[in-house]
Amino acid sequence: MTKEGRREGHTEGRRTGRDETEEERADRMWGELIQEVRVAQTGVQILFGFLLTVVFQPKYARLPDVDQQIYIVTVVLGSCATGALIGPVSLHRLVSGRRVKPRAVRIASRLTFVGLVLLLATMTSALLLILRVATHDGYVPWLVAAVVAWYLLCWYGIPLWARRRHTTRTENR
């Protein structure tokens, strides 16, 4: 690639909007990804920690079987979300210095996305369990569905809308 191509922000035929090499872009994207993961990791770890204590409460033994099953599913989902959201850190540690950062960023990004989907499922399941235990009312599934719709709007709908609305045609290529 020529210096002119690099100055224009082209990397392997792809316009990046920045004057950076593929490695520099990977470094920048890695830093951004790790900042995002820190936020999600903190949330999932706090939620998971609280979930782990529920089984040791006296009221747990008195829960109906269906609520105990929802709890077990919630803990498993929380555990999987924790694994996926911590995965990028382990990935970075194990491949650091191996000249694979652009690929590692793509893998870590996918792990993070999977972790966020699992976090959504964990939060949904936890909310369902808590509201079932707290209210025993028939409106619980509707309330949970409304909250999940809100999560989907905030986590995926608005970002995808912004991506589509504000990405130019040349950036789509």
Each residue's pLDDT tens digit, 93-149: 898 888 888 899 999 999 999 999 999 999 999 999 999 999 989 999 999 999 999
Specify if 171 maps to a domain: no
Specify if 96 maps to a domain: yes
Specify if 32 maps to a domain: yes
What pLDDT does residue 169 have? 64
Which distant-in-sequence residues (6+ apart) come within 8 Å of 29 by Cβ? 105, 109
Mean pLDDT of 49-64: 94
What pLDDT does residue 171 have? 53
Q: Which DSSP letter does residue 63 get?
A: S
Is the per-residue pLDDT at 37 higher than 60?
Answer: yes
Specify if 152 maps to a domain: no
Specify if 88 maps to a domain: yes
At 9, is the pLDDT very low, low, confident or very high (cuts 50, 70, 90)?
very low
Mean pLDDT of 150-157: 96
- Domain membership of residue 82 as a residue range: 20-137
Specify if 122 maps to a domain: yes
Is the per-residue pLDDT at 68 higher than 80?
Answer: yes
Specify if 82 maps to a domain: yes
Is the per-residue pLDDT at 39 higher than 50?
Answer: yes
Angstrom distances, CA of residue 97 to CA of 24, 82, 89, 91, 92: 14, 25, 14, 12, 9
Mean pLDDT of 75-84: 96
Specify if 86 maps to a domain: yes
Q: Are 115 and 84 in contact (CB under 8 A)?
A: yes
Query: Any long-range contacts for 86-93 (C-beta under 8 Å, 24+ apart)?
Result: 86/41, 87/111, 87/115, 88/33, 88/34, 88/37, 88/112, 89/34, 89/37, 92/30, 92/34
What pLDDT does residue 12 have? 52
pLDDT above 70 coverage of the chain, percent: 87
What pLDDT does residue 61 have? 94
* Count: domains in the chain: 1
